[in-house]
Amino acid sequence: MSNAIPLLVFAGSTRAQSHNRRLAQVAADIARAAGAAVTHIELADFDLPLYNADLEARGTPAAAIRLKEIFHAHPAWVICSPEYNGSYTGLLKNTIDWVSSPVKGDPEWGDGLKPFAGKVVGLLSASPGGLGGLRSLSHLSPLLLNLQCWLTPRQFALARAGDAFDAEGRLAEPARAGVQGVVDQALWAARRFAG
């Protein structure tokens, strides 16, 4: 589809049985069914050390440049954020720190906001607890706003995620409708911004 909105989907976890990785797969499937051109990435595929300005001075890792390219190429994203100690993960923060860090002297990536500014971002979370990781989203939102992202008004936190998926990774109603609402808003806004 030539008018399909490119949508990036990823989870802030690399754990094999991560509820948020499952949730990201559900979001990607819903977005594809809605006609989006989905890129679903796994952060485990990008070898990023812990962000350190001294390390960066010796050269930005190739994985960081690749992520900058991927983030920039997609006008809309859906991020599935686990909750660790009431906030988002170190993995997610480290990824954002590398992608937002300017590459000095590079005409393409000298502006750290370039991969983020104006992106439409839908936020999801999943947790075994009763709040579904909602506190991670309350911390992640101001970080993304500071990077000039546009956040969908609707967010969704999947509570008791350990019981929410079937053996094939499908999500039952009404939880699926919660994910659908976030995906729909992200695609709707990206289409409006593109027009």
pLDDT in tens, 168-180: 889 999 999 999 9
- DSSP assignment of 32-47, as one string? HHTT-EEEE--GGGS-
pLDDT tier at 193 (50, 70, 90 boundaries)?
very high
Give a three-class secondary structure readout of 50-101.
Answer: CCCHHHHHCCCCHHHHHHHHHHHHCCEEEEECCCECCECCHHHHHHHHHHHC
118 alpha-carbon distance from chain centroid: 15
Which run of H or E residues covers position 125? strand 120-126
Domain boundaries, the chain: 6-194
Hey, is 138 helix, strand or coil? helix
What is the third-level CATH fold of 6-194?
Answer: Rossmann fold (3.40.50)
pLDDT tier at 134 (50, 70, 90 boundaries)?
very high
